[in-house]
Each structure stands twice: as C-alpha cells, then as structure tokens.
Amino acid sequence: MDDAPFDYRGGDIQLSAAKPRGLPFLQPLYEPPPYQYTDDVVLMLVYEAEESALREVLPQELEPLPENTVVMCFFLCPQVTGMGAHNFTMPCIPVRYGDFIGQFVPYLYTSTDASLACYRESQGWPAVFGQTEITVAQGQVRARLTRHGREIMHATATVGGAAITALDFLPIILYKEIPGLDGQTCDAAYFLTSTSRLTNLNFKAGDGELIFSDPGDDPIARLKPRKILSALYGTLDDLYPESIRVLKHLK
C-alpha cells in the first residue's frame, strides 16, 4: 500500500466569480458583451392589439401604455461580434414601470444555439429556437417566422418615400430568472433595462399586414393585431447593450 500523500493538483482551468469564463470551458458558445451588429435587415410592423391580450403576457409590475401598441420586429443579422450571424423575431410592447417608460419583450425566436444561450444567459431575453426569413420581390417585403417546421406568422409590407435615418427606440425591459435546483425558489430574479446605440439607419415607411398562420399553442398568437398602424423596412447597425441597469430585484 502506498502511504505517500495524495497529490491534489486539480484541473488546468481557473474559475472566478469575478470574471465569467463562458461555457463550455474550452470553446464558449459566445463571448462577453457588448455586441456589434452590422448591416441588420429589419421589418417592423406597428399595430394596435387588445388590451386584455397585452396584459396576458405582461408581469404585474408593468402597465401597458394607453395605445395598446405592439411592434413586431423581424431581424436578419449577418454579422454580429461575439455570437455570429443569426436571425430573430420579437414583439416589443411599450409599457410603464413606475415613472420609467420602456418596451417589454415577452418572446424572442432566434436561429442559433450561440444566440439563444447568449440572449437567455446574459440578459434574460426569453429566447427559443425559430427561423426568420425576409425577402423583397416586386416592391413588396415579405417576412415569416417558423418554429419546428411550422409557420407561426408571416408579414407583408409595401414601403416607399423619403428615407428615415432616425427612430425613437425605447429602452428594453427584460426579466431575468435563474431557478434554484430545488425547483421552488430562484437563484436570481430581477427586472433590468438596456439600451442600444443605433447607427446607419436607412428605413422607409408604408403599410403592412401580419397574419398568425399556424401558431398551434404558441402563446405569441395572443398578440394578434386589431389594426395595423405602420410598417418600417430597412437596415441598421446596433451596439448592444450600450447601457444596462437593474430596475428591481424580486424577493
């Protein structure tokens, strides 16, 4: 029997709570923020929804603004530092948190494992897998979102006129939750807000249509339009997040 003391050298990877390393250790899915998006292609449908439908997808801390507006955003992101090319679709709901005005994102459908992990783990974006397509033919813009091979929604828009080079984009409000291993409590639960630095905007406005084709039990279909207000189509660059802060920790 060998009586020599046990040589506990451990592994070569050093971990520290003061500096995230990323997972998996040897080839993390994504790099730390901020992220520079370049040449994004975007279609946005601005519409009025039922107030009751908005309240179904909002936490109690957030109050929808009186106009009951939703902005459905389709994005193609061909060049993104830190996580790579991907596409996504998300609805943004203008809301009030006390005196603070922002827009809450209840769902986000993104196309890659790197973007899904980054969005969920970093800021708490409510990401699931989905595929977004945007095409332009004969002067009409078309977009569609599919998930598990089923078309959740599609949109069409006809835009024109003078170029729009600036947009009012409200701060994003997100809810970040990390459940505890006991399944009864949360290791972290808080609302945060973040902003983007949008540059090189080149949009045109017009009219559009948004149809929830075959959503099944997907809850985003609760946000169906009552009235389309406008459509915006164009390109932009985005540095995200430009700023970020916690609004409220939940007990």
Q: Spell out the domains of the chain, with CATH numbers in brackets.
A: 35-166+197-243 (2.40.400.10)
Q: What are phi and psi of 54, to 5 degrees?
A: -65, -45
CB atoms within 10 A of CB 69: 18
**Spatial CA neighbour of 73 closest among 223, 243, 177:** 223
The number of beta carbons lying within 10 Å of the beta carbon of residue 10 is 6
- What is the predicted pLDDT for the residue at 48? 98
pLDDT at 214: 87
Alpha-carbon torsion angle 117, 123, 124, 126, nearest 10: -70
Q: In the Cβ-directed half-sphere of 30, how many Cα atoms lie within 13 Å?
A: 22
Of 114, 32, 103, 34, which is closest to residue 64 (Cα–Cα)? Answer: 103
CA-angle at 89, arms to 145 and 107, nearest 5°: 110
pLDDT of residue 2: 60
Tokens of 200: 């090189």
**Distances 108 to 43, 89, 127, 162, 195 between C-alpha atoms, Å:** 15, 6, 5, 30, 17
Q: What angle do CA 132, 51, 123 make, to 5 degrees?
A: 45
pLDDT score for 209? 98
Question: What does the pLDDT read at residue 195?
Answer: 97
pLDDT score for 193: 97
What does pLDDT average to in each consecutive run of 10 residues of the chain (251 residues)? 71 90 92 96 98 97 97 98 98 97 97 97 94 95 96 97 95 95 92 97 98 90 96 98 96 82
Distance between CA atoms of 162 and 15, rounded to whole angstroms? 53
At residue 8, the pLDDT reads 81
Q: How far is CA 247 from CA 98, 104, 244, in A?
A: 10, 13, 10
pLDDT at residue 4, as a whole number: 61
How many C-beta atoms lie closer than 10 Å to residue 78's C-beta?
Answer: 13
For residue 95, what are the β-bridge partners? 64, 102
State the pLDDT at residue 251. Answer: 82
